[in-house]
A = this chain, B = another copy of it.
Amino acid sequence: MTAQSEPGFEPSGLAADATSGDDLRTRLREAGFRLTPQRRLVLQAVVDLGHSTPEEICAQVQRTADGVNASTVYRTLDVLEQIGLVRHTHLGHGAPTYHAADDANHVHLVCEGCGVVIDAPVGVADPLVGTLRDAYAFELDVQHFAIYGTCAECAGGR
């Protein structure tokens, strides 16, 4: 039920910067927001979890620290999304899934069978991007892009 290609911890230091304090503080202040411990914790949780629902983020944050109220988590995710550090995708079922914006260079392949989320490089969608642009003047948002289907495991007898 979790990602195969585990980002987990910052691929190349990008995510680390976001949470180290500096970048986060700057970004927040530019938009008129303040830096609070809760916001740092929530961003850290999003980065660490890779893909996660608000509920999972709540749980993760409770665990890691004094606890952040659920409503604060929701409000914080909004703020972090506004300043572009976090993005969300609808993977289907119920809740939206959040991930660090830095970690967005992939599309999500969601298996309808087992729910696994496979990350594929954005490049796989290039042909489709071209087709849609040409035929419909539709600009595909590859980041916010969830693709449904069946993974090898679930397709093969197993």
Contact = CB atoms under 8 A, between A and B. Distances in A.
Interface string A123-141: 0110110011001111111
Interface residues of A, number: 32
Given A155-B137, A155-B139, A145 B148 contact: yes
A25 interface: no
Contact of A145 (B118, B131, B135, B147): B147
B112 A137 contact: no
Nearest to A139: B150
Given A127-B128, A128-B125, A131-B124, A140 B136 contact: no
A16 interface: no
A7 interface: no
Contacts of A151: 136-139
B132 A120 contact: yes
A149 interface: yes
Grouping DSSP codes into helix (H, G, I), strand (E, B) and loop, the A interface class, with mixed when no group exceeds half, is: mixed
- The copy count of this chain in the complex is 2
A119 to B, nearest CB: 10
A140 B144 contact: no
A84 interface: no
Contact of A131 (B127, B131, B132, B135): B127
10 contacts: A90-B93, A112-B144, A120-B136, A124-B132, A124-B135, A137-B152, A139-B149, A140-B147, A141-B148, A145-B147
Interface in A77-106: 90, 92-93
A135 B120 CA distance: 9
